[in-house]
Structure 1
Amino acid sequence: MTRSPGTPLPPPHERRRLREAGALTRARLAERVGVRPGTVRAWESGRRSPRGRNREAYAKLLAALAGPAGTAGDAERGAGAGARESVFARQKEEGTAVVTVRLEKPARRGAVVPEASAFAQAPPPAAPRREPVPDGHEGTAGLTPAQAFDALYAFCAPALVRQAYLLTGRRDLARESVERAFQRAWDRWPEVARDPDPAGWVRAAAYEWALSPWHRWRRHDRRAEPPPPDADDRALLDALLRLPPPYRRTLLLYDGVGLGLPETAAETEASTRAAAGRLTYARESVAALLPELSDPDELHRRLAELASTGRLRAAEPPEVRGGSERRARFWTRAAVAFTVALIGTTALTLRTAPTRYEPPVPAGETVRGVPPRVAPGPLSEERRELRDRLREELPGGPERLAPQTR
Structure 2
Amino acid sequence: MSSALAIASVTQVLKDLLNNGIIDRDVSGATGVDVAVTSFPPDRVPTSGTDEKSQLNLFMYMVSQNQGWRNQNFPSMNANGDRITNPYLALDLHYLLSAYSPFELHQEILLGYAMQLLFENPVLPREAIRKSLTSPVGGFTGGTLPPNLRSLSTSGLADQLEMIKIVPEVLNTEEISKLWTAFQTNYRPTTAYRVTVVLIESEKSTKTALPVKQRNLYVQPFKTPVINDIQSQSAPGQPVVENQKILKGYTLIIDGEQLDADVVHINIDDLVIIPNKTDVTDTRISFVLPANLPAGIHEITVSHPALMGSPPAQHKGITSAPATFALCPVITALISISGIVHSGGRLSADLKLKVSPIADPDQTIFLILNQYFPGGTGSATALSYSFKAQLIELSSPPVPTASILVHISGVVPGKYLARIQIDGAESPLHTDANGKYNTPLITLV
Q: Quick check: which one's helix share is greater?
A: 1
> With CA pairs under 8 Å and 6+ residues apart, which has the higher RCO, 1 or 2?
1
Q: TM-score, normalised by structure 1?
A: 0.17
Structure number with the higher strand fraction is 2
